[in-house]
Amino acid sequence: MELIQYKNRGLILINIVLLTFMACLDSSIVNVALPVMADYFNVGMNSISVIVSTYLIAISATILIFGRLGDIKGTVRIFKIGIVIFTIGSLLCAIANSLNLLIFARIIQAVGAAAYMATNQGIITRVFPAGERGKALGITGSFVALGTLVGPPLGGFIVDAASWQYIFLINIPIGIFAFILGMKILPRDEESKKARFDIKGAALFLIFIVALFAALLVGEKVGFTNPLILGGFGLAIISFVMFLKVENSVDSPLLQLTIFKNQLFSLSIFCGFLLFVAMNCSNIIMPFYLQDVIKLSPSVAGLYLMTYPLVLFVVAPISGHISDKIGSELLTFIGLIIFSSGFFFIATLNEHFEPVKLVVIIAVMALGNGMFQSPNNSLVMSSVPRERVGVAGSINALVRNLGLVVGVSVSTLILYGVMSSKLGYSVTTFVAGKESEFIFAMRVTYICAGLISFIGAALTAFRLIQKRRKGRPKEQ
**Distance (Å) of CA 255 to CA 63, 245, 249, 472:** 12, 11, 11, 36
Q: Which of 18-32, 159-173, 349-363, 394-408 has the lowest mean pLDDT?
A: 18-32
Instruction: Give the residue-averaged pLDDT of 387-409.
Output: 80
With bands split at pLDDT 50, 70 and 90, how would you rate the model's confidence at 473?
very low
The dihedral sign for the CA sequence 158, 160, 164, 166:
negative
Q: Is domain 1-188 in CATH 1.20.1250.20, yes or no?
A: yes
Specify the higher pLDDT residue, 359 or 137.
359
Please measure the distance between the N-terminal and C-terminal CA atoms of the chain and give it in whole angstroms: 44
**Distance (Å) of CA 201 to CA 115, 242, 266:** 18, 8, 21
With bands split at pLDDT 50, 70 and 90, how would you rate the model's confidence at 475?
very low
The pLDDT of residue 5 is above 50: no
The pLDDT of residue 449 is above 90: yes
Q: Which of 145-154, 191-200, 338-347 has the lowest mean pLDDT?
A: 145-154
pTM of the predicted model as reported, rounded to 2 decimal places: 0.79
Per-residue pLDDT reduced to its tens digit, 11-44: 888 888 888 888 777 777 777 677 788 888 888 7
With bands split at pLDDT 50, 70 and 90, how would you rate the model's confidence at 472?
very low
Q: Per CATH, the architecture of 259-476 is what?
A: Up-down Bundle (1.20)
Per-residue pLDDT reduced to its tens digit, 229-245: 999 999 999 999 999 99
Distance CA 194, CA 197 (A): 9
Distance CA 448, CA 54 (A): 28
With bands split at pLDDT 50, 70 and 90, how would you rate the model's confidence at 143?
confident
Q: What is the 3-state secondary structure (H, E, C) of the chain?
A: CHHHHHHHHHHHHHHHHHHHHHHHHHHHCCHHHHHHHHHHHCCCHHHHCHHHHHHHHHHHHHHHHHHHHHHHHCHHHHHHHHHHHHHHHHHHHHHCCCHHHHHHHHHHHHHHHHHHHHHHHHHHHHHCCHHHHHHHHHHHHHHHHHHHHHHHHHHHHHHHHCCCCHHHHCHHHHHHHHHHHHHHHCCCCCCCCCCCCCHHHHHHHHHHHHHHHHHHHHHHHHCCCCHHHHHHHHHHHHHHHHHHHHHHHCCCCCCCHHHHHCHHHHHHHHHHHHHHHHHHHHHHHHHHHHHHHCCCCHHHHHHHHCHHHHHHHHHHHHHHHHHHHHCCHHHHHHHHHHHHHHHHHHCCCCCCCCHHHHHHHHHHHHHHHHHHHHHHHHHHHHCCCHHHHHHHHHHHHHHHHHHHHHHHHHHHHHHHHHHHHHHCCCCCCCCCCCHHHHHHHHHHHHHHHHHHHHHHHHHHHHHHHHHHHHHHHHHC
- Whether 1-188 and 259-476 share one fold: the answer is yes
Instruction: Give the residue-averaged pLDDT of 85-101.
Output: 93
Specify the higher pLDDT residue, 139 or 44.
139
For the chain, the domains span 1-188, 198-253, 259-476
